[in-house]
Amino acid sequence: MTPDPALDRLVRRVSAQVRWRRVEHYALRGFFWASLPAVALLAIKGGVGSLALPIAAALLVLGALLGAAWGALKRTTRADAARLADRAFGLEDRVATALEWAERPDRTPLVDSLVADATARVEALQPRQIVHRILPRETRFLPVPVVIALVLTLAPALPLPSPRLPDFTPGSQEEDKEQRTGSGMLEERSKPESRERLRPPAFEEHEFQARSGASTASTAGDLSAVFKDTALSAQRPDFNSFLKKGDERLKLLEQVDRLPDLASDFTTSQYKMVFRKSKALTGGLRPDQISPQKLKELLEEMERLGRKGGNWSGDVGEGMEALEGGQTDRAMEAMQKALDKMRAQEEAQRAGKGLRGGRDNERGAGSRDRRGGGGEGGGEGEDFGEGEGLLPGKGKSASPKGEASRRLSATPYDVGVEGESRRGRKEGYDTNMTGRGGPMASRLNYLGVIGQYRKLMEDAITREAVPRDYHSQIKDYFQALDER
């Protein structure tokens, strides 16, 4: 069964409307995209010449025509047209279904009734435009290139940028160059001419008079000479002087003694490297808990370093002997002595070099500041035992325990302690400082001094300076500290 001619007519009519709308749609799109090169062409019309305007117009027409042709060539299926007609005329998919099912071999008897019904409804329709115009998105921006194109058409040609790189040579050298060779004369001459053409004559005269006394070489008609003598000319970048300054900086870099002491980093300082290893080895442990093997390795390393002119080899040897004899505490003491000597020698070497700046000066200043009452801890250098008063009763401070940190000088109301009991294999108590003084770091490095305090404690117990009843309590306290 073939569909009724009325349905075919409707579909053809809708297809024609769709085609026309497509032509409009794609022509606009083509016009927009063609307007971009047209604007570009008009922007460089100074270089293109009088052909720019006709070519731009031709581009626009060509873009619109190509778009229209593209829209006209696009096919519209009968199903799409029928669906569009159904929707536009409120036919509830009658036409699309009738057209589809009329040609199907498995059509049901109801299809005949459907085709008849659809035909009757279509014939009763009044033909009208049902395909709405859909403007492409580019249309919103279309006024922009159009206005620009109009402006560019009416305005004089824009000056084109010169292909030459900017000249950084000073004016005198440029003059010499110009005298030596006349290769660039053509462009140099053309530029003043174009400026001359754009500049009003009165302004030109004024410029000449203002600079007439500046240079005896300038004449009334020599525009290039005028340009050279202006203050603006004096401000032109001098590449040679820039290079000269760069050379001076490079020379400065070669003077090692004047540089900041960047070489005194932790990783390059022998003392700090060994000190760090010793802390990692001994941190929080009693002498009998320290690994003799690792202690031996550390002493051997110190001995190796001492062969290069160090004066701590004797202490290291004493420590090795003590270690072989199983006296770890003596070995530790010897290692500490060697470390002290190592630090002293390193400081002496640094002072001998006369290095200035860098971390040493900074630290020295910081140390002086602290002695002067600053005393704020937390510096990285302090963690490595270089400051004064690190250990109780040592250092140059008048106080046997070193200077107090600012935390201690705060009022009791500024600082508080909060904590909670800790359950576990060994019960303990975790505390935190609170209040204004809380965030201030302790001046003493915990891991750096806890071993010393423990040693003092053991000495005190050995000397029976502590009542016997408190021994276990004190030992438990230090044991709890170890576990943390």
76 touches other proteins by CB under 8 A: yes
Q: Which is nearer to other proteins, 79 or 253 (CB)?
A: 79
CB of 380 to other proteins, least distance (A): 51
In this chain, which of 45, 83, 341, 370 binds other proteins, going by CB under 8 A? Answer: 83
CB of 35 to other proteins, least distance (A): 21
Contact of 316 with 341, CB cutoff 8 Å: no
In this chain, which of 51, 72, 92, 422 binds other proteins, going by CB under 8 A? Answer: 92
Sign of CA dihedral 89, 91, 97, 98: negative
Q: Which is nearer to other proteins, 134 or 151 (CB)?
A: 134
Q: Which is nearer to other proteins, 71 or 402 (CB)?
A: 71
Residue with the two structure tokens 């000073």: 170
The number of residues that bind other proteins (CB under 8 A) is 34
Of the candidates 456, 408, 403, the residue with the CA atom closest to the CA atom of residue 433: 408
CB of 124 to other proteins, least distance (A): 16
CB of 96 to other proteins, least distance (A): 5
From CA 121, how far away is CA 88, in angstroms rounded? Answer: 13
Binding mask 132-151 for other proteins (x = CB under 8 A): x-x-----------------
Compute the C-alpha angle 26/28/31, nearest 5°.
110
User: What angle, rounded to 10 degrees, do the helices at 292-306 and 313-324 form?
Assistant: 160
289 touches other proteins by CB under 8 A: no
From CA 58, how far away is CA 64, in angstroms rounded? Answer: 10
84 touches other proteins by CB under 8 A: yes
Q: Which is nearer to other proteins, 74 or 140 (CB)?
A: 74
In this chain, which of 6, 96, 320, 323 binds other proteins, going by CB under 8 A? Answer: 96
Compute the C-alpha angle 260/264/268, nearest 5°.
145
Of the candidates 163, 175, 167, 176, the residue with the CA atom closest to the CA atom of residue 240: 167
CB of 18 to other proteins, least distance (A): 4
CB of 108 to other proteins, least distance (A): 4
In this chain, which of 8, 33, 48, 80 binds other proteins, going by CB under 8 A? Answer: 80
Task: List residues bridging with 432 in a β-sheet.
Answer: 418
Candidate segments 86-94, 438-446, 451-459, 470-478, binder of other proteins by CB under 8 A: 86-94
Question: Phi/psi at 417 (nearest 5 deg)?
Answer: -125, 130
In this chain, which of 45, 94, 341, 443 binds other proteins, going by CB under 8 A? Answer: 94
Binding mask 100-139 for other proteins (x = CB under 8 A): xx-----xxxxxxxx-xx-------------xx-x-----
Question: Phi/psi at 413 (nearest 5 deg)?
Answer: -75, -20
From CA 371, how far away is CA 383, in angstroms rounded? Answer: 17
The tokens for 396 are: 């140059």
Q: Which is nearer to other proteins, 25 or 359 (CB)?
A: 25
**Contact positions with other proteins (CB under 8 A) in 14-33:** 18-19, 21-22, 25
Give the residue ranges of DSSP H helices in 44-109.
45-48, 52-73, 78-89, 94-102
399 touches other proteins by CB under 8 A: no
From CA 313, how far away is CA 307, in angstroms rounded? Answer: 7
455 touches other proteins by CB under 8 A: no
From CA 366, how far away is CA 233, in angstroms rounded? Answer: 51
The binding site for other proteins (CB under 8 A) comprises 18-19, 21-22, 25, 74, 76-77, 79-81, 83-84, 92-94, 96-98, 100-101, 107-114, 116-117, 131-132, 134
